[in-house]
Structure 1
Amino acid sequence: MAQTLVMGNPAAVAAKNKLAADFRKKGIIIALLSGLLYGFYTAFMTLGMSLGIWVEWYGENSGLSAFAVMFLLSAIGAATTDTCSAIWAMSIAKARGRFGDFVRCIKTKPGLVMVAAAVIGGPLASTAYVVGLQQAGSIVVPISALCPAVGAILGKFLFKQQLNARMMLGISICFFASFLIGSTGLGEDAPANLLVGILFGFIAAICWGIEGCVCGYGTSMIDPEVGITIRQVTAGVSNLIILVPLFGIISGVDAFGMVAQSFTDMNALPWFILAGLSAYLTFMFWYKGNAMSGAALGMSCNGTFSFWGPFCCWIVLGVLFGFEGWSMPPIAWAAAVIMVIGIFIIAMNPMDLFKKKNGGAHEAA
């Protein structure tokens, strides 16, 4: 009855359409903030790994092997950030009265699925991501942004999800953009480990693509805020108890002692705390933006981190703190923008934006 009255009242219809449009626009802004915060998460984490005890560890006289410098330090950096993010997640859940829900949900089948996905996206993907950043710089960020393309391909084979011509076009655009980025490693002035860093960026994209596929099942039955808490806590704990000890044993060093130093170094720790908060918020805003603007458009807006990641690293590390090597060649900037377009095409048909806009105007009329 109420719906009939609204449909028969042009003013009410116009008000309803405006409310829906405003809600969607707010969702788009939140989803875009998710991409921006991912950029700050990358920049703050990398900054933390460039100060205090980390300068000594990366120095020539550290006594650490090449393996330890590449893998162990990256795992410790990822573990420090993920643990800070987990503390933020649990603190916020406690403040909002959701901590009991977190404890209950983590024991359920969907909760265990989220745990499994977080192990893939935590110690594996995040450590590969940090290795890539340390070896090749911010150029790795757009490479890791291939995860939606990887997720779409994996979803086709694992869950028989649709993979139509439009999505294939978007995937092709993303891989073309990654080829452009990789081509910057062919010049004489390229860093020696650039291609190695790009390789690990691809590994991170694959792991995050797998996580995205699996988490789709978990978040369909768990409140996103609780699901994010499960994800961040699992990532932090699994990093500390799996990869860090494993790499420490291989390297023959006291990995737990180094972890303790990482968490007590007051020069670096504040930036890890900010990185952890940014990591938590980027996931939170991603889920919230998806709910408000639609999953397809939310995914597209979040995919802008392929641009925001290098931009934030350049601003924070290059401009504000004066570290060298955080600028990108013009072709890489262009490729990052092209990849955003590819992600957008994978996630949704761009013509749907105009259809919804025109349809809303028609209804208002």
Structure 2
Amino acid sequence: MSGSSAAAFAAKAKLDSSFRKRGVSIALTSGITYGLYTAFMTYAMSQGIWSDWYGANTTGLSAFAVIYLLGALGAAVTDTSSAVWAFSITAARGRIGDFFRTIKTKPGKVMVVGALFGGPIASTAYVIGLQMAGSIIVPISALCPAIGAIIARFLFKQPLTMRILAGIAICFLASLLIASTSLGGDAPEGMALGLVFGFIAAIGWGFEGCVCGYGTSMIDSEVAITIRQVTSGLSNLIILVPIFGMMSGDGMTLSLVTQAFTDSSMLWFAVAGFFAYLNFMLWYKGNGMCGAALGMSCNGAYSFWGPLCCWVILGIFFGIDGWEMQPIAWFSAVLMVAGIVTIAMNPLDLFKKKEAVQYEAA
């Protein structure tokens, strides 16, 4: 190899390494933004008209409406806010044409299907779980990579190696440890059911991850995120909220939607929607730079960042009680991250030193 060729090869290797490290940083940041999205959405649903709905409940809402209709509405308002951010940023960059062209293609339609599972199903279950059990359901929802690996085995015939099975076992062990905090007389009322909704969210996001993995391999991440957020926001608002409204029988759905979107709490929903947009945007971008497996494990760290952000922002900054977590829950959150990393990659690779490349002058 000539000296110039060796230098070029070394420069490219250094550039690739730097590019991958930037991808890891971006994917890790996506986990933090997920925690911020969770905290600000939860805070928004305690402010303004929401405090009346969840408080003394002088509005005459049924118990079903308080739990399920308001949960779906909170998810709809957050996802719609996120969709507005995504659509506005895409428009500002002159890519609206790409959005409408892509959504008509097969990969675009696949993104829509994935968003339907991640929006009306997973997002709403996540919000309901948060309202019932608090931030402890965040690590439960982080089971989505483990569930996604299982779903991929059946949908795409992807093999489940011993390493992946070990990672899945670690994740489910962590979830069982977290679920153990819902047992006993000192557990808050509704915690067990809240954990069930967290698990439903994990299933929805696990399926979305499998399906959207196909779509995002052929669609620009910015356009893909816009399709995902717009689909999620609209489907929550025009499908799930009316369905729960009819099931509640209160006849107040339209009034609730109007009040929610005109209330002062919309400021905090806009903040939550922005962090939701950032989370998915950074996750997809990080995946493209460091690989989907490593990007998934970095983003999965939200099982730790979610409870931490809720504790700091809601518990410490805003002074709201009830956001502390038991030591076993913190341990389980970290254990969940370890399981996700094991699914995505061989953990021993993190400790291997890269071999120095020797070049011979021609």
Which structure 2 segments of 5+ residues have no match? none
- Select which of 352, 356, 362 maps to 2:357: 362
> What is the CA-CA distance between 1:169 and the residue it aligns to?
0.2
Q: Which residue number in structure 2 is paired with residue 340 of structure 1?
A: 337
The answer to whether the aligner puts 1:109 opposite 2:70 as a matched pair is: no
Equivalence map 1:255-270=2 (5 Å): 255-266=253-264, 268-270=265-267
Q: CA deviation at 1:145?
A: 0.2
Partner of 2:270: 273
2:42 partner letter: T
Q: Distance in 2 between matches of 1:131 and 1:208?
A: 15
SS in 2 for 1:8: helix
Distance 1:6 1:96, change over 3 A: farther
Deviation at 1:354, TM superposition (A): 4.3
Partner of 1:159: 156
Q: Give the alignment partner of residue 123 of structure 2, picking from 115, 126, 129.
A: 126
Preserved CA contact (<8 Å) 1:83 1:236 = yes
Task: Note if 1:66 corresponds to 2:66.
Answer: no
Paired letter, 1:82: D
Which of the numbers 80, 84, 92 marks the counterpart of 2:81? 84
Name the residue aligned to 2:166.
Answer: 169
Of 276, 287, 297, which aligns to 2:284?
287
1:44 aligned residue (36, 40, 54): 40
Cross-structure match for 2:145: 148
Distance 1:188 1:27, change over 3 A: same
- Residue pair 2:145, 2:206 contacting (<8 A) in 1 also: yes
1:140-185 deviation line (CA, Å, top 9, x unaligned): 0000000000000000011101210000000000000000000011
Work out whether residues 13 and 363 of structure 1, in 8 Å CA contact, stay in contact via their aligned partners in 2: no
Point out where structure 1 has 5 or more consecutive residues left out of the alignment.
none
Q: Tell whether the 8 Å contact from 1:167 to 1:345 is kept in structure 2 after alignment.
A: yes
1:16 matched residue in structure 2: 12
Using the alignment, how far apart are the partners of 1:109 and 1:4 within structure 2? 47
- Residue 4 of structure 1 and its aligned partner are, at CA, apart by 5.9
For each residue in 1:249-302, what CA deviation from the matched residue of structure 2 results, as whole angstroms up to 9, or x when unmatched?
121232122111111111x11110011110111111111111111211111110
Further displaced range: 336-345 or 16-25: 16-25
Q: Does 1:247 align with 2:244?
A: yes
Question: Does structure 1 conserve the Cα–Cα contact (< 8 Å) formed by 2:6 and 2:359?
Answer: no
**Aligned counterpart, 1:53:** 49
| Alignment partners' CA distance in 2, 1:153 and 1:20 | 31
Q: Taking structure 1 as the reference length, what is the TM-score of the superposition?
A: 0.95
Contact 1:17/1:364, CA 8 A, preserved across alignment: no
Question: 20, 31, 34: which one pairs with 1:35?
Answer: 31
**Which deviates further from its counterpart, 21-30 or 270-279?**
21-30
Q: Give, in angstroms, the shift of residue 89 of structure 1.
A: 0.5
Q: TM-score, normalised by structure 2?
A: 0.95
Question: Structure 1: which amino acid aligns with 2:59?
Answer: S
Question: Is the deviation greater in 298-307 or in 14-23?
Answer: 14-23
**Compared CA separation, residues 274 and 8, structure 1 to 2 (3 A):** same
Task: Tell me, yes or no, if structure 1 residue 227 matches structure 2 residue 214.
Answer: no
Q: Percent identity of the aligned residues?
A: 65
Separation (CA, whole Å) in 2 of partners of 1:7 and 1:180 = 55
What is the rounded CA distance, in whole Å, between the counterparts of 2:287 and 2:3 in structure 1? Answer: 30
How far apart are residue 329 of structure 1 and its match? 0.2
Closer, same or farther in 2 for the Cα pair 1:188/1:115, shift >3 Å?
A: same
Find 2:193's aligned residue among 189, 193, 196: 196
